[in-house]
Structure 1
Amino acid sequence: MSKAVTDASFDADVLKADKPVLVDFWAEWCGPCKKVSPVLEELGQQYADQVEIVKLNIDDNPNTARTYGVMSIPTLTVFKDGEPVQSVIGAQPKSALAKFIESSL
């Protein structure tokens, strides 16, 4: 299970992380978010040494979503050295998400 982050923990868990972090901005009611979740779990295991994958529920944590301009979900954003470096919006196939992660490392 991917680690859940919150508005309160985002700075420590994502911005100050010692390796890249992929943040899955999602919500409980979002169908495409539910489809992409198991794919992210698999990729999280596959790339465990290179990237951490975390989830941020935008309904429970609106401030972080607002700060990074998340308007549609799922939005997947890779943060590196405290900065967002790349985002993709919408459910993607596993192969596309793997390429997305690799291109962000």
Structure 2
Amino acid sequence: MTAMAAAKEQFPRRRLTAVAAILIAGLLTVLLTRPAETAVSFTPLSGLMTLKATAAEAVPYEVAIANPKPTLIEFYADWCTTCQAMSPTVAALHQQYAERLNFVMLDVDRPQWASQVSDYGASGVPQFTLLDSEQQVVKTWVGKVPKAVFKTVFDQILG
């Protein structure tokens, strides 16, 4: 093999090595420079598991509507990646406020909640509807909501 042929054979390997190095450097930059709050690892599977666990711990809709505590209703769907991503936030809020606030989760894909989906105008998921102690709508959010936003409103309504 001539020196020229050997050099031509080495070129694709060098190019591949350079591309891999650039990709690794980019990934490391993203991982090392993102804010600490988003550094929590999230995978769709972990989000779905948290979503299911939070739904299992939620107060049944009928119980929440019948008691005098304010209520946060989350309209969600298992397939919704934003719902899955929000599940750790909702779970943390549930732990902090469960004594003073009902947490209800209604799966929009279940026909039994069609009336509530319509009554509360849930046209997207996740939708979070906050009811006061008289079960009147105080606030509605759709999509990803920062934990601090929820806490501010919860603290206001709970006094």
Quick check: TM above 0.5? yes
Q: Would you say 1:86 and 2:139 are equivalent positions?
A: yes
Structure 2 distance, partners of 1:4, 1:18, is 13
For each residue in 1:71-99, what CA deviation from the matched residue of structure 2 results, as whole angstroms up to 9, or x when unmatched? 11111111121222211111112222222
Q: Secondary structure at the match of 1:101?
A: helix
Letter in 1 for 2:125: I
Q: Give the superposed CA RMSD.
A: 1.7
Q: Is the 8 A contact 1:14 1:79 kept in 2?
A: no
Structure 2 distance, partners of 1:92, 1:33, is 10
* Structure 1: unaligned runs, 5 residues or longer: none
Paired position in structure 2 for 1:103: 156
For each residue in 1:15-74, what CA deviation from the matched residue of structure 2 results, as whole angstroms up to 9, or x when unmatched? 222201101110111111111111111111111222121211011022210111111111
Provide TM-score, normalisation by structure 1: 0.82
Structure 2 distance, partners of 1:74, 1:100, is 18
With over 3 angstroms needed to count, the CA separation of the structure-2 counterparts of 1:34 and 1:4, relative to structure 1, is farther
Match of 1:65 among 117, 139, 142: 117
Count residues with an aligned counterpart. 100
User: Matched residues, percent identical?
Assistant: 27
* Structure 2: unaligned runs, 5 residues or longer: 1-53
Provide TM-score, normalisation by structure 2: 0.57
With over 3 angstroms needed to count, the CA separation of the structure-2 counterparts of 1:87 and 1:104, relative to structure 1, is farther
Q: Is the 8 A contact 1:24 1:77 kept in 2?
A: yes
Q: Is the 8 A contact 2:71 2:135 kept in 1?
A: no
Paired position in structure 2 for 1:3: 58
Q: Structure 1 or 2: larger helix share?
A: 2
